[in-house]
Amino acid sequence: MSQLSEQQLDQLIAAERAREEEPLNEWRTIAARAREEGLIRGGSGPRWSSGQPWLQAAAAVLLLIGGIAIGRTTIGLPTVNQQNAAAPNAVATNPPTSQASASTQSNPASSTYSFTSVDQATDALDRAVREYQNASQYLAANNISTKTRDSAAFYTARAAALDKIANATESALQTAPHDPVINQYYLATMGARVATRQMVSTAGLRGF
Amino acid sequence: MPFDQLDLKRAIAGDERAMQRLWSQHAPHIDAVVRRLCGDPELAADISQEVWMQIFRALPSYRGDSQFGTWAHRIAVNRTLNALRKIRRIAKLEIEIEDDTAITEMETDRTFMAESIDQAMKKLSPGARAVFVLHDIEGYTHGEIGEELGITSGGSKSQLFKARAKLRTLLAHLVEDSPNVAGKGKGHVAAI
């Protein structure tokens, strides 16, 4: 009876070791099970992690503009609304509306609010962001003294704080790149940081 | 496209595209070990699904201490052996391994001859195939095989010796038919 030598068998084994074949299943089979188990999140695409680069870019630009607006208003630069209205009551008339809506819709202290869907929670988050922006505008227009605005220490402290927040949120995004809350904080912080640096430059401050 | 850390984080977060990239890159190798251990394509396809589910479930526990492929490969081997054990194929083998006289299947029946090592492996008993695949193809030590299969290191060596002897017989026709494994020579018995 003939036999391969050990060496010849080793050659065949080496060839087998290097051989790869098509996967045993199709991806859609694996994906269907993963989706059933909740390992794949979202339907055709996760709400906050679209595979469409242009959609992600558009969302990023939108949030960046919002962040810049917050930054500009909180450091006292005129906003588009303020410029168009040409009157301080343009901002001053907004707060009662905001306060009214805040008291009736989203007072977290008195609320026993519970969400029943991701969409509902997302809508609430969007509303909260808008109210935050309104509140920031109001405070920027009414609650910061001229003396404080001109203080280099004030801007230094703000810039340092924004740097820390930016670093922290950047770090968090490494772990949770699609987290909507962290993304909003990150982009708002970046916007505020840009505006702060612009203000520093305008005011002739140095050392940033 | 290489599977980077960002993709890994996205896959953990449930990003389907990142998971698909991971699967596309590693499935040929992972599925190959499942197929070799099972010896039955349909069973291997079922077990492969389980393997990939387990890999995705365990993703958050991957710390990057080893290559991702190595980590996933371990899961594939463990999961496959567990599945085979459940269907009593390995259990049968474990009894056979303790009986050195059980596998002396040096049949001279050349109708039993396989056309390739892949097919020849299917002719091995489940336990002999597992030991052979793990040691000679996947590079496990006899100690590691012993742990995986619940047998002694000596039992693993014995099983490998018998598996190789049987394969040498089953594949003898390749020496006659193919120049790729020519150079018949006497060869030598590898240390096992």
Is residue B130 within 8 Å of residue B122, measured between CB atoms? no
Q: Return the pLDDT at B44.
A: 92
| Range from A138-142, A157-161, B35-39, B173-177 that averages highest in pLDDT | B35-39
Question: Is A144 contained in some domain?
Answer: yes
Kindly list the structural domains of chain B, giving each domain's residue range(s) and its CATH number in brackets, ordered by start: 1-87 (1.10.1740.10), 91-192 (no CATH)
Q: Which residues of A touch B41 (CB under 8 A)?
A: 24
Question: Is A160 contained in some domain?
Answer: yes
Choosing among B9, B15, B170, B175, which should be mutated to test the A contact, i.e. which has the most A CBs within 10 A?
A: B15
Closest residue in B to A39 (Cα–Cα): B14
| Section A97-124 average pLDDT | 59
Q: Which domain holds residue A190?
A: 50-203
A·B CB contacts under 8 A:
143
Of B6, B118, B184, the CB nearest to A5: B184
Of A7, A16, A51, the CB nearest to B188: A7
Q: Which residues of B touch A8 (CB under 8 A)?
A: 168, 174-175, 181, 183-185, 187
Cα distance between residue B70 and residue B65, in whole Å: 10
**Locate tokens 């040096």: which residue?**
B106
Q: Do B31 and A12 touch (CB under 8 A)?
A: no
Of A7, A9, A46, the CB nearest to B14: A46
Lowest-pLDDT range of B17-21, B150-154, B178-182: B178-182
b/e code B34-52 from CB counts within 10 Å (16+ = b): bbbbbbeeebbbbbbbbbb
Q: Return the pLDDT at A131.
A: 76
Q: Which residues of B touch A45 (CB under 8 A)?
A: 16
Cα distance between residue A26 and residue A147, in whole Å: 67
Angle at A168 between CA A78 and CA A122, to 5 degrees: 70
| Section B145-158 average pLDDT | 92
| Section B31-35 average pLDDT | 92
Q: Which residues of B touch A9 (CB under 8 A)?
A: 164, 167-168, 171
> Which of B184, B10, B108 lies closest to A177 in space, CA to CA?
B10
Question: Is A126 contained in some domain?
Answer: yes
CA of A4 vs chain B CAs: smallest distance (Å): 5
Is residue A41 within 8 Å of residue B14, measured between CB atoms? yes
Q: Do A178 and B15 touch (CB under 8 A)?
A: yes
Q: Which residues of B touch A37 (CB under 8 A)?
A: 53, 57
**Locate tokens 């060496």: which residue?**
A7
Q: Return the pLDDT at B116.
A: 73
pTM given for the model? 0.50
| Section B50-74 average pLDDT | 90
Q: Which residue has the higher pLDDT, A33 or A73?
A: A33
Q: Return the pLDDT at B170.
A: 86
Question: Is A139 contained in some domain?
Answer: yes
Question: Is A10 contained in some domain?
Answer: no
Mind listing the pLDDT tens digit for each residue in B107-117?
Answer: 433 333 335 78
Q: Return the pLDDT at A60.
A: 62
Q: Return the pLDDT at B95.
A: 52
Question: Is A21 contained in some domain?
Answer: no
Indicate whether A58 pLDDT > 80: no
Question: Is A65 contained in some domain?
Answer: yes
CA of B37 vs chain A CAs: smallest distance (Å): 13
Question: Is A63 contained in some domain?
Answer: yes
Q: Return the pLDDT at A75.
A: 59
Indicate whether A152 pLDDT > 50: yes
Q: Is A49 on the interface with B (CB under 8 A)?
A: yes
Closest residue in A to B25 (Cα–Cα): A23
Indicate whether B70 pLDDT > 80: yes
Closest residue in A to B11 (Cα–Cα): A40
Counting the structural domains of chain A, the total is 1
Residues 121-150 of A with CB under 8 A from B: none
pLDDT band for position A74 (cuts 50, 70, 90): low
Indicate whether B182 pLDDT > 50: no
- % pLDDT > 90, chain A: 7
